Amino acid sequence: MTTTLVTGARGKVGRGVIARLHAAGHSVRAASARPAELTVPAGIERADLALDRPESFGAALRGVQQVFLYPQPAGIHAFAEAAEAAGVEHVVLLSSSSVLGPDAENDPLASHSLLVERALADSDLHCTFLRPDAFASNSLGWAHFIGQGLPIQLAHPDAHIAPIHPEDLADIAAEALTGDSLTGSAPTLTGPESLTFREQLAVLAEILGREIPVERISRSEAEAQMGRHMPVPVVTSLLNLWEAAAHGPAPVHDTTLTLLGRPARTFRQWAGENTAAFVRP
């Protein structure tokens, strides 16, 4: 039986992949730098794995034929070598559509995933690169403000994205690990529709049954606010991305409909499933 190592097993997508493989009767090993904190189904083996600790590779990879990999540049070359030595046959990487952008090598949003893609491409491993665009769950960044009844302040409220539901991504990843249709491919993954931030907030307002005020702020104000929580280069990259996205609908690329023949989950569906996150405790 093929054993699949799932890294990033504490994340939403990683947990979804584990659940799907386990339910289908596949052998799964859940990996994390803090394996004791993992919540996994009964019978799932836990493994201690951190890409910046090469000494953790051997035990985690022993007997593994496939890896679902979260992108982490630190130690990736050593990991690829260890995976080859362990007999791993296929790596499915959770990459990012940002690697396709201009000057991706120097973009802080893209370079993280791009370095991992390149290291894997330079190896002898068979690889599949899943490149999702924005996640619907990114909207959880508004949860505190909405829960407190505060306005959402945005420099580019009319920036368009096509957010993908994390469960769709888990479905696609599971297919990449269990079937042949996606092996060796590098699909760009989105949700089924383009929505502006303002339109996403309108969906949330409708589902919550109350108004969510939206205020446009200047770029400098946005830089100051975002800079409290993330590095300046990342803030600059995000604001540049959203500014460019304000000029028209976001393209819809591959979805569960085109890849799996099943309708893609919508942002409205995600919002309906996550209303509790936007309600004040």
Q: Can you tell me whether residue 191 is helix, strand or coil?
A: coil
The torsion of the CA quartet 129, 27, 30, 44, rounded to 10 degrees, works out to 160
Q: Can you tell me whether residue 227 is helix, strand or coil?
A: coil
User: What pLDDT does residue 36 have?
Assistant: 86
The tokens describing 57, both together, are: 């590779």
Q: Residue 51 and residue 57: Cα distance in Å, rounded?
A: 8
Q: Can you tell me whether residue 92 is helix, strand or coil?
A: strand
Distances (CA, A) of 198 to 39, 152, 264: 35, 9, 21
Q: Residue 2 and residue 242: Cα distance in Å, rounded?
A: 42
pLDDT tens, N- to C-terminus, the chain (281 residues): 789 999 999 899 999 999 999 999 999 999 999 988 888 888 899 999 998 899 999 999 999 999 999 999 999 999 999 999 999 999 999 999 999 988 899 998 899 999 999 999 999 999 999 999 999 999 999 999 999 999 999 999 999 999 999 999 999 999 999 999 999 999 999 999 999 999 999 999 999 999 999 999 999 999 999 999 999 999 999 999 999 999 999 999 999 999 999 999 999 999 999 999 999 87
Neighbouring CB atoms inside 10 A of 68's CB total 29
Strands 195-196 and 160-161: antiparallel
Q: Residue 250 and residue 271: Cα distance in Å, rounded?
A: 19
The pTM (predicted TM-score) of the whole model is: 0.94
User: What pLDDT does residue 160 have?
Assistant: 98
Strands (DSSP E) found in the chain: 3-6, 27-32, 45-48, 66-69, 90-94, 126-132, 152-154, 160-161, 188-189, 195-196, 214-216
User: What pLDDT does residue 192 have?
Assistant: 98
Neighbouring CB atoms inside 10 A of 149's CB total 11
What are the tens digits of pLDDT across the range 21-57? 999 999 999 999 998 888 888 889 999 999 889 999 9
Q: Residue 94 and residue 198: Cα distance in Å, rounded?
A: 28
